[in-house]
Structure 1
Amino acid sequence: QRGFNRFYGFMQGETDQFYPELTYDNHPIDPPYGPEEGYHVTEDLVNKSIQFIRDQKSIRPDQPFFLYLATGATHAPHQAPKEYIEKYRGKFDDGWDIVREEKYKKQLEMGIIPPNTQLAPRNPGVEPWEDLSDNMKRFGLRLQEAFAGFLDHTDHQIGRLISFLEDLDELDNTLLILLSDNGASMEGGHTGVMDEFKYFNLVPEDVDAIQNRLDDIGGPRSHTNIPWGWAQVGNTPLKWYKSHIFGGGVRDPLIIHWPEHIKDKGSFRNQFHYITDIAPTILDILKIEPISIYRGYNQIPISGTSMAYTFNNPNEKSQKIIQHFEMFGHRGIWVDGWKAVTVHRQGQPYNDEEWELYNLREDFSEYHNLAMKYPEKLRKLIDLWWVEAGKHGVLPLDDRRGELFGVNFDPGSPHSKREYVYYPPIAHLPSEVSPAVGNRSWIMTADIERSDKDEGVIVAMGTQNCGFCWYIKDNISVFDYNIFTDHHIVRSETVVPTNQCSIGVNFLREGRKGTISLIIDEKECGSIQVPYVMRMISSTGFDVGRNSLSPISDDYKAPFEFTGNIKRIKIKLLRYRKPSDIRGDAKDKFRAEMAKQ
């Protein structure tokens, strides 16, 4: 909420579109209704956007408004109402090679890319469409159809917001800025995934085994992402993907709409600009000088160049002078139409890496590497990169990847604890503050009071696609360990006592496998082995006394609130993970965080 009067949305880098973890102003809330009644978070976000603007214009019509609308589209999971996905049945049946070529030709025809642009070569790992098995084709097509439906649905919701502004007679004088945040992602892997957390858990997708679940794609029972081949189509005509510094990672469409001040409607601008230029553009339009000192603290200078000069001067030369790039040791720099870029290999000396050189004014898709032809030009750009890196806090370079995530928690962080104690009823806990039980052994106990009629969820973590839940039903204690919809369920061999009692779950990791044991009054009363221990369980957090969002088990209907009294939940992590485990977990955390960017 910092910098805003109101907030409504999700805080995570991604969320389930049908069962989102919502925050309203500064507190968590449940979605107002479920997907059975037609809920989708993009529609909800636009509804709240309209409400906030309506409230502001009713109370202070003399004041302008600033709205920042951040949807989940088209980040994974690709989920949309069924009718939007079905619109695209068969639209991509020609396969990603032909669709990419057609998209490239359409871009040329519409003038979206320069007329001399060449289509970048196929990315490594992307097979020709005709070489795929029939099952891989079917799966990939369904994933791409869900992606397209998701985008179409988002477009419709943005249209609703624009129609509202038009009805309010505010559209012509409202500056609209619409953009994506990066290129298409590669987290779907070679095949695509039914549940993206398979990727984060290093579990390969079994395309043959999920053919009976194709109709789930795009709905609440999926958490999908597209394969490399369709991601490459999304980045046409460029190469590589999100997290790369080549065009496929950093080039994005930007739409600016301001009818009262931009006269040349529906036209293109080709000046080079960067994400850091948006804030200077808004400040320039509003004639606001950013302050250098706030409450006695020096402020970091705003880095960027206003784009306002392009609004009514389509052919003016770019006023942008220089732009540096860096990500995990990958480096790049743009200067006056020239771009130098290098791919870093973790652990390799930076000075030994080969840089590439492109003239973007003549080579939009970075097709022709000119490093050998213009070595002096390249050397100058490399030297400039080091200067810019020093100016903007990039140095020292740090090529750690997984090691940067999930290892050293800040003091006081809930994730740094060995024990967690909860006194319900409590609000839903987002993943950032949920107990860190992934990939480790733990003991969970619940002190409860109940009659023989009381039942419901004790704890729940995750979604119906992956997670775990512990509940009482028909006087039996039940634990469901849901590994990507493969449910491993243990039920107590004795009934749960009435009145006051203590029940528990012990989870013992044994290599990559695990053993789950149920405890009633300190006695084991049932156990099973699970074939795989999830390292990263879900981006959806933790509930006590209910399953507030996506139902993790098929055995009940959420929220299935516990009707008795839970006095206390205690979770104890049995031991610290080995260094090798920590490194593995950190790498998984890194992959998840990168997918959220």
Structure 2
Amino acid sequence: MTHEWEGRDDYYDYYYTDAITDHALEFLSDRDEGTTFFLYMAYTAAHWPLHAKPEDIAAYQGRYHMGWDTIRKQRHARMKELGVVDPQWALSPRHDNVPAWPDAKYPLWHERRMEVYAAQVTCMDRNIGRIKDYLKQEELLDNTIVIYQHDNGGCHVEYLPTRTGSWTRPKTTDGKERPIKPGNIPNLMPGGQETFQSYGYGWANASNTPFRLFKQFDHEGGTRSPLIISWPRGIASELSGQLVSEVCHVIDIFPTLLDLVGAEIVEQQPIPMEGRSLAPALQGKDVKPHEALFWAHNKGSAVWSAGWKLVSPNRGQQWELYHLPSDGTELHDLSLRQPAKARELQQLHKDWLARNKAAARSGIK
């Protein structure tokens, strides 16, 4: 297999986030200008391995010297100030696998991991700007719907030196063929291609402020993520730059886009489309609420209905019950005090799983 960077004059400077955007801009410049277009860009940043441009890393030097405990408190205060979270929601405790910052070994290495992660985000942000600059230059920005979303919360995985796969290779591809040392090896500073590291429990815990747990779990720290929509000509002017509190799920994106472009909803079988359009919210109108939302990702399982959430950290072996409007950080398990509600939601989740397993056997049409 030939990789994209092979045979390029600038192979030594190849960076995947830039390359994705290069292809996106090529697609836009080659599009049929007489019709509408759909562009989906799935950046891998920010993610392991912690590789970033030296100049982007340098911009964050010392930024995280205060450590993850202080960062979490600062971010929680800022989120409350902005209205991103309810001021009544308490900050969740530091995760059990995360030491207090003063007790953390190798603090400079921990700082560096977050510096590189932040540098990855900066590069991604710059590249999103490249797309928006093109749209503005072509006078398309005002009537283009731009949606930014994440698929999960911060990932806690500590990358092991023994972990290998199709995504790893023994030597760098920058022409120097330096050996790559995989794994979160303390005091081996990440950033260059000769390393292969993740940012781990401490910074994932900070990234998911103020919520509990991480990617791979269906608690709020694993599933609550940003959804930002820009559409100058289509969004009510009084909503520009504002927060909307509607509960939504990724399954709502497709029906929303169909609604906005005036297309008919697909009659999907054997399971009808379960998402609903968020288009009214863009005009400050009410959106028909979901009767229930479901998750079953990796270690987790969850169901939400009318503000109540039943969630399991171990695929249904034990369940926890939370009332999110009053306890959005999932700190007060009500399953013993509200057993009937827990049973009701558990049955909803059981029925949903059965419905999807039956569909998988018969095939989606």
TM-score interval, smaller chain: 0.7 to 0.9
Which residue in the other structure is 1:113 paired with?
85
* CA-CA distance at 1:75 after TM superposition: 1.5
Distance (whole Å) between structure 1 residues aligned to residue 128 and residue 191 of structure 2: 20
- The answer to whether structure 1 residue 48 and structure 2 residue 18 are counterparts is no
Q: Mark the structure with the bigger radius of gyration.
A: 1
Distance (whole Å) between structure 1 residues aligned to residue 359 and residue 296 of structure 2: 10
Which residue in the other structure is 1:359 paired with?
323
- The answer to whether structure 1 residue 220 and structure 2 residue 193 are counterparts is yes
Kindly report which structure 2 residues correspond to 1:19-418, keeping only aligned pairs within 5 A, or say none: 21-22=3-4, 30=6, 32-34=8-10, 36=12, 38-56=13-31, 60-133=32-105, 136-188=106-158, 193=159, 198-199=162-163, 205-207=184-186, 211=187, 213-214=188-189, 217-263=190-236, 264-292=239-267, 301-313=272-284, 316=286, 319-328=289-298, 330-344=300-314, 353-393=317-357
Distance (whole Å) between structure 1 residues aligned to residue 281 and residue 341 of structure 2: 28
8 A contact 2:213–2:219 mirrored in 1:
yes
1:165–1:317 CA distance, 2 compared to 1 (3 A)? closer
1:33–1:244 CA distance, 2 compared to 1 (3 A)? farther
Distance (whole Å) between structure 1 residues aligned to residue 18 and residue 83 of structure 2: 32
Which residue in the other structure is 1:14 paired with?
none
8 A contact 1:175–1:256 mirrored in 2:
yes
8 A contact 1:272–1:318 mirrored in 2:
no
8 A contact 2:294–2:302 mirrored in 1:
yes
* CA-CA distance at 1:394 after TM superposition: 7.7
* CA-CA distance at 1:343 after TM superposition: 2.4
1:395–1:237 CA distance, 2 compared to 1 (3 A)? farther
* CA-CA distance at 1:393 after TM superposition: 2.5
Report the AA paired with residue 129 of structure 1: W
Report the AA paired with residue 342 of structure 2: L
Distance (whole Å) between structure 1 residues aligned to residue 229 and residue 15 of structure 2: 26
Point out where structure 1 has 5 or more consecutive residues left out of the alignment: 1-19, 23-28, 397-597
Kindly report which structure 2 residues correspond to 1:433-448, keeping only aligned pairs within 5 A, or say none: none
**After TM superposition, where is structure 1 displaced by more than 3 Å over at least 4 residues in a row?**
29-36, 196-201, 203-206, 290-293, 298-301
Give the structure-2-normalised TM-score: 0.86
Distance (whole Å) between structure 1 residues aligned to residue 164 and residue 282 of structure 2: 43
Paired residue secondary structure (2:289): coil
1:291–1:247 CA distance, 2 compared to 1 (3 A)? closer
8 A contact 2:310–2:321 mirrored in 1:
yes
Distance (whole Å) between structure 2 residues aligned to residue 127 and residue 153 of structure 1: 30
Report the AA paired with residue 282 of structure 2: F
Report the AA paired with residue 30 of structure 1: E
Report the AA paired with residue 231 of structure 2: W
Which residue in the other structure is 1:400 paired with?
none
1:40–1:204 CA distance, 2 compared to 1 (3 A)? closer
* CA-CA distance at 1:307 after TM superposition: 1.2
Q: 1:558-581: CA deviations, max 9, x gaps?
A: xxxxxxxxxxxxxxxxxxxxxxxx
Paired residue secondary structure (1:154): helix
8 A contact 2:311–2:321 mirrored in 1:
yes
8 A contact 1:79–1:220 mirrored in 2:
yes
Paired residue secondary structure (1:172): helix
8 A contact 2:212–2:220 mirrored in 1:
yes
* CA-CA distance at 1:320 after TM superposition: 2.0
More strand per residue: 1
* CA-CA distance at 1:329 after TM superposition: 6.4
Q: Which has the higher contact order (CA 8 A, sep 6+)?
A: 2
How many residue pairs get aligned? The number is: 341
* CA-CA distance at 1:205 after TM superposition: 4.5
1:197–1:311 CA distance, 2 compared to 1 (3 A)? farther
Paired residue secondary structure (2:128): helix
8 A contact 2:256–2:277 mirrored in 1:
yes
* CA-CA distance at 1:181 after TM superposition: 1.4
1:187–1:155 CA distance, 2 compared to 1 (3 A)? same
1:279–1:317 CA distance, 2 compared to 1 (3 A)? closer
* CA-CA distance at 1:301 after TM superposition: 3.2
Q: 1:442-473: CA deviations, max 9, x gaps?
A: xxxxxxxxxxxxxxxxxxxxxxxxxxxxxxxx
Report the AA paired with residue 331 of structure 2: Y
Point out where structure 2 has 5 or more consecutive residues left out of the alignment: 166-181, 361-365
1:395–1:302 CA distance, 2 compared to 1 (3 A)? closer
Distance (whole Å) between structure 2 residues aligned to residue 198 and residue 232 of structure 1: 24
**What is the CA RMSD across the aligned residues, in angstroms?**
2.4
